[in-house]
Structure 1
């Protein structure tokens, strides 16, 4: 029966990565074979899924519909396979998407608490940027996501906590001596370093730079928080960092100095989000409770209490 599951996987992977060459590498197939399989699907269905160009691929309107349906099929097959081979006690399974600036610093303790409260619940976690989390929730690839609520309209939102922001500077930067925190006046004419624009943090940093009279670097966009910390260590600018990263990892870096930001709106809300068409999911309540409990223990301002 065509298209096959493998062909669906090819198409979804190309859509996610934006290039045939990268998709072929990830899927461990030759690029000509990948292209031929996708062309076969397009020919048999009489549609155009991708428009190719030197800059990558663009998905057509018909292709967007195809990919959304293909993702749901692949997720259902994955769930079926898991249900048949799993020896875990019945307790539910949640596919959770989370921002990479949150996941590794918050979730280990949360998962531990959830496992203690509900041992049979399995949580499958994937870290992705804001844009991909939105797409994953809409397509059904995620059951729920942990992200910044303003980026996900038309969802059911359960606000969890408010997270302050910090800056990282080179050790010889004058701001490194300000132990009480850094104000807007201290950042005038400064260069701000941030993640690429697929992350909400980038938009927050652009707003902060405008408020402080600074400018966001147009020469470097990081893909990880570690990368922008290293750039700050070189002295080319100040890196803006979320509190969870700053206090769980950043303060242990010898090559930079971290200082809290004392600027209006130097924070972000974090929420649990689900599709508006779904009711409460099995295990969602215990996960939300654990997220708030662990965040409270880390000194966050809890929302929704």
Structure 2
């Protein structure tokens, strides 16, 4: 039956290295044997996986889809092998999707705590925007996601915490002197910077701007929180930032000044979400407890259990 796991490994390795010769060396097989095995898969499935030219090897459109699936299959087999050979008393694996405005600032401490309490649990983390997290959860790429609950209807939701919003401005901006919290009046007629509209944060900022009389920039949409901080530092506008980023990274930046927003509803809820009807996943409870504990230690408003 084709393709075999070994053939999948051949194809993924060629894709990663871009050359048959290098792949053959890494896999410790002859190049003719490697080529023959991949050709056998192509003939069996009736598709062309790679285009070969002087510049190296490039996957076709069908080949890219094949390689993506092959990588997932090989990862599952590796997880299976690990689970069956691990000496850890309690194991399990969770595929976790998380907003990039949360993951780097919350997960390191939570993962460390989980590893101490349950060393056999493996958590595979991927950062994606709100829209892609929703699609990934529906498609089964993720077991759980950490996101804004209102963007994922018909899911099982465990509220984790609420985080307020901050602003970041250039060091010579008038708002940099306000140590007591920025009001709605302070943002009137100001140009406001945020992430692109695939992120829930963008929609929160648009609503905030409408309430305050500010204007959201459609020319300076950022792809990361760091990018909008840099734009704010140059004096372009006012960056709106979530609490986690502000506490964990933003306050240590020299080129901007961060100030909390003293405006009702200038906040967002964060939850752990699963597909409705999903069986109890191994490790979900300890993940929830660890995330809440870390959020509490950071001074965030933790949701009741």
- State the TM-score, normalizing by the size of structure 1: 0.77
Using a 3 Å threshold, how does the CA distance of structure 1 residues 114 and 188 change in structure 2: closer, same or farther?
same
Give the Cα separation in 2 of the matches to 1:160 and 1:72.
Answer: 33
Give the Cα separation in 2 of the matches to 1:115 and 1:172.
Answer: 44
Shift of 1:78: 2.4
Runs of at least 5 residues in structure 2 that lack an aligned partner in the other structure: 9-14, 20-41, 48-61
Shift of 1:74: 6.2
Conserved? CA contact 1:71–1:139, under 8 Å:
no
SS, match of residue 183 in structure 1: coil
Give the Cα separation in 2 of the matches to 1:28 and 1:209.
Answer: 48
CA offsets 1:86-118 (integer angstroms, 9 cap, x no match): 654351011111111111111111011111211
Give the equivalent residue in structure 2 for 1:79: 76
SS, match of residue 261 in structure 2: strand
Runs of at least 5 residues in structure 1 that lack an aligned partner in the other structure: 9-25, 31-39, 46-62
CA offsets 1:103-158 (integer angstroms, 9 cap, x no match): 11111110111112111111111111111111111111111010000111111011
Give the equivalent residue in structure 1 for 2:249: 249
CA offsets 1:196-242 (integer angstroms, 9 cap, x no match): 11110010111111010011001111111000000000111000000
Deviates more, 1:294-303 or 1:75-84: 75-84
Give the equivalent residue in structure 1 for 2:264: 264
Give the equivalent residue in structure 1 for 2:30: none
Give the equivalent residue in structure 2 for 1:275: 275
Matching of residues 82-231 of structure 1 within 5 Å: 82-85=79-82, 87-88=85-86, 89=88, 90-231=90-231
Give the Cα separation in 2 of the matches to 1:226 and 1:117.
Answer: 33
Conserved? CA contact 1:194–1:221, under 8 Å:
yes
Give the equivalent residue in structure 1 for 2:240: 240
Give the Cα separation in 1 of the matches to 2:92 and 2:204.
Answer: 36
- Give the structure with higher Rg (CA): 2
Using a 3 Å threshold, how does the CA distance of structure 1 residues 229 and 193 change in structure 2: closer, same or farther?
same
Using a 3 Å threshold, how does the CA distance of structure 1 residues 213 and 138 change in structure 2: closer, same or farther?
same
Give the Cα separation in 1 of the matches to 2:143 and 2:74.
Answer: 15
RMSD, aligned CA: 3.0
How many residue pairs get aligned? The number is 260
Give the Cα separation in 1 of the matches to 2:4 and 2:209.
Answer: 49
Conserved? CA contact 1:72–1:140, under 8 Å:
no
Give the Cα separation in 2 of the matches to 1:256 and 1:274.
Answer: 37
Using a 3 Å threshold, how does the CA distance of structure 1 residues 272 and 71 change in structure 2: closer, same or farther?
farther
Give the Cα separation in 2 of the matches to 1:147 and 1:125.
Answer: 13
Give the Cα separation in 1 of the matches to 2:233 and 2:125.
Answer: 31
